[in-house]
Amino acid sequence: MKDGGLLKPVANAFDALATPGWVIARFVSGLSGRSDELPVTIAAHGIAWAGWVGSFGLLTRLRSARPESKAFRPSGTGHGTGAERDVTGDIDTGRRRVLIDSVAAAVGVAGTGSWLAGTLREPWRLRLTAYEAAMPGLAAELDGLRLVQLSDLHLGPNVPSWLVEEAIARALACRPDIVLLTGDYVHAGRRYLREAASLLAAFPEAGLPTVGVLGNHDWYGDAPAMSRLLSSAGVVMLDNRRTFVDPSTRRLVSTVPGSNASGPSPLCLAGVGDFLEDYSSYEDALHDVPARIPRLVLSHNPDASQTDELLAAGTAGATRYADLIVSGHTHGGQISLPFIGPPIVPSQYGRKYAWGAAEGPCCPVLTSCGVGMTILPVRLGTVPEIVLITLRTGPDRVASVRGAVVTGPTFPRTTRP
């Protein structure tokens, strides 16, 4: 965690406890998501804390109203059969009470530990996940191309700019050739659009070709403005569009390369619009791309890997749209419980695309669990992530992805030379 950056985690810890109040305040006000508008914040916290204090008082009264165990009283009984039955019953009551208190204490300790870890520790532990993706038809000149992906920053009330800056610094430290941005740059509203764009401008300013698509939360803010600001910052926005990586220079070129099959193929970087709030058209993005060119597609939502349009095009050959899809959106469920996994994943396909590499019906899908948080200011079992994809020339018809190598939060932080 950044020095002096403790204020936001502590604020988030209290905000997480106010979740019941947020649910009620949202229902009453009709607002979606957590708003940083002061009246709604005050109402949410007021409702929640009144509920917590009331519940604590009620539990305390119920506990004190329970009869004390006679087994610990100096009653002087113990002679005769009736007294023996009483003492035995008192001992059972005492044991039951100790058992209930022990279970309550264990649940309390586990809950408190999870709350502290999920708010003060895990949301701020950036990790690096590395993949090798073999793509058929990738030119030898592009073998070893390093792509770094950042997703779901959710800059806003619960995600401070210093976490985004830290993620960008560490992404730069990976020494990528190209940067992939897969949406949800802001959480909601227009307040953070300009700040998000100026932070992400660090990639183009470092001389790195940078491409991106919008996510559903950018639409909850102002998608056209977000797109415009990122474009002004030097990010090539690819919502239902495509560009190419020149094999000789490893720079972006926008024009469709010639059909000369003897020369090395460029790599097509395409994107589709958000699956929930926009439209996702592979045809718009890729209709004029020659079949020999390998194509990597950015889609904020991994569910766009199973659209009718994509399925109809087929898995391989001249009609295919994608060789590899790179996504975000799911946050890995954001809370993943031991032995259970993530109880909630925002996908039509359950946990299939929750996090990591999955075999989609047409091609592999890589899903990042992102950097920021949504709905709850909590991450548990799904720490924020930077993804590094190294492309390899694949001999097969269909692209393949090798298992993720996950490193801890101490991966190199050297600056780009």
- Rank residues 241 and 300 by Cβ distance to Fe ion and give the closer one: 300
CB of 393 to Fe ion, least distance (A): 33
Q: How buried is residue 395: exposed, middle or buried, by Cβ count under 10 Å (0-12/13-18/19+)?
A: exposed
Both tokens of 234, joined, read: 């030097």
* Element holding 311 (H helix, E strand): helix 308-313
CB of 283 to Fe ion, least distance (A): 26
Q: What are the start-end ranges of the H helices in 122-179?
A: 161-173
Query: Which residue, 110, 149, 156, 105, is CA-closest to 131?
Result: 149
Q: For 369-391, b where at least 16 C-beta lie within 10 A, e where not — what string? A: bbbbbbbbbbbbbbbbbbbbbbb
Identify whether the C-beta of residue 289 lies closer than 8 Å to the C-beta of residue 318.
no
- Rank residues 17 and 375 by Cβ distance to Fe ion and give the closer one: 375
- Rank residues 294 and 342 by Cβ distance to Fe ion and give the closer one: 342
Q: Which amino acid is at 47?
A: I
CB of 40 to Fe ion, least distance (A): 21
Phi, psi angle pair for 124, to nearest 5°: -115, 10
- Rank residues 266 and 356 by Cβ distance to Fe ion and give the closer one: 356
Rounded CA-CA distance 276/374 in Å is: 16
- Rank residues 152 and 239 by Cβ distance to Fe ion and give the closer one: 152
Does position 274 bind Fe ion by CB under 5 A?
Answer: no
CB of 216 to Fe ion, least distance (A): 7
CB of 263 to Fe ion, least distance (A): 40
- Rank residues 152 and 278 by Cβ distance to Fe ion and give the closer one: 152
Stretch of 120-128, 177-185, 283-291, 383-391 lying at the interface with Fe ion (CB under 5 A): 177-185
Q: Token match 């590899």: residue?
A: 324
CB of 215 to Fe ion, least distance (A): 6
Stretch of 1-9, 86-94, 146-154, 358-366 lying at the interface with Fe ion (CB under 5 A): 146-154
CB of 254 to Fe ion, least distance (A): 28
Task: Name which position in 90, 122, 166, 184 contacts Fe ion (CB under 5 A).
Answer: 184
CB of 321 to Fe ion, least distance (A): 24
Both tokens of 337, joined, read: 């419980």
Rounded CA-CA distance 141/341 in Å is: 41
Task: Name which position in 15, 90, 122, 152 contacts Fe ion (CB under 5 A).
Answer: 152
Half-sphere exposure of 363 (CA within 13 A, CB side): 33
- Rank residues 141 and 184 by Cβ distance to Fe ion and give the closer one: 184
Number of residues lying near Fe ion (CB under 5 A): 2
Q: What are the start-end ranges of the H helices in 30-132?
A: 38-65, 81-116
Stretch of 8-16, 124-132, 134-142, 145-153 lying at the interface with Fe ion (CB under 5 A): 145-153
Length of the chain: 417
- Rank residues 330 and 400 by Cβ distance to Fe ion and give the closer one: 330
Which spans of this chain sit near Fe ion (rule: CB under 5 A)? 152, 184
